[in-house]
């Protein structure tokens, strides 16, 4: 096997005309079965500043390439054993994503053969006999392409590393954040719930907490936008919601407090659309408030009831208008309630139709009394948005409005008993 050859080195060492430092342009592999051709090219390349290594057939070329990692390859076509086309194919496989230019030096002239050089993975070709100036120019052009590719590859590697780091940090932050927000939730096993974030962080929020009378309060919210910026606002909301609900503070005051906090911390263009519902400890009364969320739907024995948005989202005005207070409904056995975020209604199909205009209403209309809706709804959504990328957070919560949601009233309290109701 011819490795980095002493002949070329000694040739260039003795050459007083050598304009550049030997080897400064990297290592060139010369593949040719004719020793005189190798020697001639080796001399020329050494003069151009290349360290040269040689191979006398295709198999040797692949082996030398794998062992020495040259920076450029000059390939003959017709050789015994595997030819230049096959050797190039194998060399390109060994090189993988690293770009090492292969220039064919061939006696073949018909266009078909030249095309085969490129198809085999060659980057350029020169027909023998070639002028030295032309070869010099081609090498320069190839080096330019190679350097560009190396720059891009290096940047790509940096970018991949950064992206990977970013993903890990996001996953960690999401874990901490979502635990901090949801770890105080209660009775989640009694709710039917589907949450599908569009990014690592979920801008949709579901909070539950028991009232001192054993009743249950639920908040379903949707921050402007999604991702980290949307999710981070959930912390102060969750804090106020859980603490005040456990103390039995009424709906209007909890909403006023969350609104106040968000108005203080969020920029003007950010807000939280939210629905808040409370079920009394005896399971007989529902109180609801809807600020900027899609309608809540209640299926009762006498039909479907829409609880439409009647209030502004939270965090926009410094104080909530008095006319936007929560409303009451007396519950009856078998009542069920559905809450959704707009990500569900606006999910598009391949024809760009939103789910709200394409199937959602029909599903509501066919909702049988006292039966779960969510399985049907999810199936229809999946069929609707098949092959489409999800662009917004999706949240659906279905609640059977009966006293099984409630818990035994808290008896041991330090504060004055309140039921969070009046």
**Residue numbers of the site for another protein (CB under 8 A)?**
222, 224-225, 268-271, 273, 291-294, 309-313, 316, 321, 342, 354, 392
> Which residues touch 307 (CB under 8 Å, ≥6 apart)?
288, 290, 295, 296, 297, 298, 327
Q: Give me the least distance between CB of 354 and another protein, in Å please.
A: 8
> How far, in Å, CA of 244 to CA of 211, rounded?
9
Closer CB to another protein, residue 248 or residue 313? 313
Structure tokens at 51: 């360290």
Q: Give me the least distance between CB of 117 and another protein, in Å please.
A: 46
Beta bridge partners of 223: 272
Q: Give me the least distance between CB of 315 and another protein, in Å please.
A: 10
Intra-chain end-to-end CA distance of the chain, in Å: 94
Closer CB to another protein, residue 72 or residue 272? 272
Concatenating the DSSP letter of every residue in 246-261 gives: HTT--HHHHHHHHHHH
Concatenating the DSSP letter of every residue in 131-178 gives: -HHHHHHHHHHHHHHHHHHHHHHHHHHHHHHHHHHHHHHHHHHHHHHH
Q: Give me the least distance between CB of 275 and another protein, in Å please.
A: 11
Q: What is the CA radius of gyration of the chain?
A: 36
Closer CB to another protein, residue 157 or residue 353? 353
> How far, in Å, CA of 57 to CA of 83, rounded?
8
Closer CB to another protein, residue 89 or residue 270? 270
Q: How many CA atoms are closer than 13 Å to the CA of 336, on its beta-carbon side? A: 19
> How far, in Å, CA of 322 to CA of 299, rounded?
29
DSSP helix/strand/coil, 51: strand
Closer CB to another protein, residue 82 or residue 312? 312
Closer CB to another protein, residue 18 or residue 224? 224
Residue count of the chain, please give it.
422
Closer CB to another protein, residue 44 or residue 344? 344
Q: Give me the least distance between CB of 292 and another protein, in Å please.
A: 5
Closer CB to another protein, residue 39 or residue 226? 226
DSSP helix/strand/coil, 277: strand
Q: Give me the least distance between CB of 165 and another protein, in Å please.
A: 25
Q: Give me the least distance between CB of 225 and another protein, in Å please.
A: 6
Q: Give me the least distance between CB of 386 and another protein, in Å please.
A: 21
Closer CB to another protein, residue 190 or residue 310? 310
Closer CB to another protein, residue 352 or residue 422? 352
> Which residues touch 117 (CB under 8 Å, ≥6 apart)?
77, 84, 85, 88, 104, 106, 125
> How far, in Å, CA of 262 to CA of 234, rounded?
10
Q: Give me the least distance between CB of 202 and another protein, in Å please.
A: 14
Q: Give me the least distance between CB of 222 and another protein, in Å please.
A: 7
> How far, in Å, CA of 83 to CA of 36, rounded?
19
Query: For the chain, percent helix, then strand, then coil, each to nearest 5?
Result: 40, 20, 40
> Which residues touch 54 (CB under 8 Å, ≥6 apart)?
2, 5, 29, 30, 31, 32, 38, 42, 64
């Amino acid at each position: 096997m011819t490795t980095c050859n002493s002949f070329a080195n000694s040739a260039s060492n003795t050459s007083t005309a050598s304009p550049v430092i030997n080897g400064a342009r990297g290592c060139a592999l010369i593949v040719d079965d004719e020793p005189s051709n190798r020697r001639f090219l080796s001399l020329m390349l050494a003069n151009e500043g290349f360290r040269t290594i040689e191979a006398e057939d295709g198999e040797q070329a692949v082996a030398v390439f794998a062992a020495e990692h040259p920076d450029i390859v000059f390939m003959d076509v017709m050789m015994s054993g595997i030819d230049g086309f096959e050797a190039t194919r194998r060399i390109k496989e060994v090189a993988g994503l690293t770009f090492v230019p292969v220039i064919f030096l061939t006696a073949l002239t018909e266009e078909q053969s030249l095309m085969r050089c490129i198809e085999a993975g060659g980057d350029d070709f020169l027909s023998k006999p070639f002028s030295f100036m032309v070869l010099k120019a081609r090498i320069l052009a190839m080096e330019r392409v190679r350097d560009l590719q190396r720059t891009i590859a290096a940047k790509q590697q940096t970018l991949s590393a950064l992206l990977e780091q970013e993903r890990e940090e996001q996953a960690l932050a999401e874990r901490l954040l979502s635990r901090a927000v949801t770890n105080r939730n209660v009775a989640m096993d009694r709710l039917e719930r589907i949450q599908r974030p569009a990014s690592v962080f979920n801008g949709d929020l579901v909070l539950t907490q028991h009232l001192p009378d054993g009743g249950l309060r639920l908040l379903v919210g949707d921050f402007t936008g999604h991702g980290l910026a949307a999710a981070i606002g959930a912390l102060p909301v969750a804090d106020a919601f859980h603490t005040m609900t456990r103390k039995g503070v009424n709906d209007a005051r909890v909403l006023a407090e969350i609104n106040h906090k968000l108005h203080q911390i969020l920029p003007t263009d950010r807000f939280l659309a939210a629905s808040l519902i409370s079920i009394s400890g005896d399971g007989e009364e529902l109180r609801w408030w809807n600020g900027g969320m899609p309608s809540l739907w209640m299926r009762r024995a006498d039909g479907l009831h829409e609880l439409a948005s009647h209030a502004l989202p939270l965090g926009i005005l410094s104080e909530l208008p008095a006319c936007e207070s929560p409303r009451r409904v007396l519950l009856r056995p078998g009542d069920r309630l559905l809450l959704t975020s707009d990500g569900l209604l606006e999910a598009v199909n391949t024809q760009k139709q939103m789910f709200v205009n394409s199937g959602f209403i029909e599903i509501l209309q066919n909702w049988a009394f006292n039966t779960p809706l969510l399985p049907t709804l999810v199936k229809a959504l999946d069929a609707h948005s098949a092959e489409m990328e999800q662009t917004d957070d999706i949240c659906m919560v279905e609640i059977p409005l009966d006293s099984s949601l409630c818990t035994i009233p808290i008896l041991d309290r330090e504060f004055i008993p309140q039921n969070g109701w009046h």
